[in-house]
Chain A
Amino acid sequence: MYNFTFHRPTTVRQAAGLLARNPEGKLLAGGHSLLPVMKQRLAQPSALVDLSQVEGMTGVELKGRSVVIGAMTRHADVAKSDVLKEVLPGLASVPGSIGDPQVRNRGTIGGSIANNDPNADYPAACLGLGATIITNKRRIAADDFFTGMFSTALEDGEIIVKVSFPIAKKAAYEKFKHPASGFALVGVFVSKRGPDIRVAVTGAGSNGVFRVKSFEEALKKRFSPKSIEGITVPASGMNSDIHATPEYRAHLVGVLAKRALTKATA
Chain B
Amino acid sequence: MTVRSVSWTDAQRVSSLLARVTATRSPEPAALVSAMGAARAGAPGKAAPTPAKAAPKAPKEVPRLVQTSDNPADRLDALVAWTLAHQACVGAFVADDNGLTLAAHGISEAHVSLVGPLLSALVGVRTIPGVDATAGALWLGAQMMSWVEARTTRGGFCLGTVGDEALSTRAFEQLKEALGTTVRGL
Partners in one complex: no
